């Protein structure tokens, strides 16, 4: 490793703030790019399931699910 300890790795001779903020923001955006389609996928499946079997799932999830779906679309 180029750095003697974790403290030095974090500080990076004063450049740590820049490097780590770049890393933090990039990683957050990348994770978001994976989570968002996964959520969308799950929501689509729930929606289709409700259309297929309105009684069964309708009782379980109630109206709140319906309302949140409406606001999302």
12 alpha-carbon distance from chain centroid: 30
Q: Using the rule CB under 8 A, which residue among 4, 5, 13, 64 binds other proteins?
A: 13
CA distance 49 to 31: 27
Least gap, CB of 55 to other proteins (angstroms): 13
Least gap, CB of 58 to other proteins (angstroms): 14
Q: Around Cβ 34, how many Cβ atoms within 10 Å?
A: 9
Q: Give the length of the chain.
A: 73
Under the binding rule (CB under 8 A), the answer on residue 10 touching other proteins is no
| Residue entry with tokens 């890393």 | 23
Question: Which residues of the chain form contacts with other proteins (CB under 8 A)?
Answer: 1-3, 9, 12-16, 18-19, 21-23, 25-26, 29-30, 32-34, 36-38, 40-41, 44-45, 47-49, 51-53
């Amino acid at each position: 490793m180029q750095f003697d300890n974790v403290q030095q790795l974090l500080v990076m001779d004063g450049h740590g703030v820049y490097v780590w903020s770049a890393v933090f923001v990039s990683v957050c955006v990348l994770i978001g790019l994976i989570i968002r389609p996964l959520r969308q996928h799950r929501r689509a499946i729930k929606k289709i399931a409700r259309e297929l079997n309105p009684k069964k799932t309708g009782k379980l999830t109630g109206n709140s699910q319906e309302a949140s779906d409406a606001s999302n679309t």
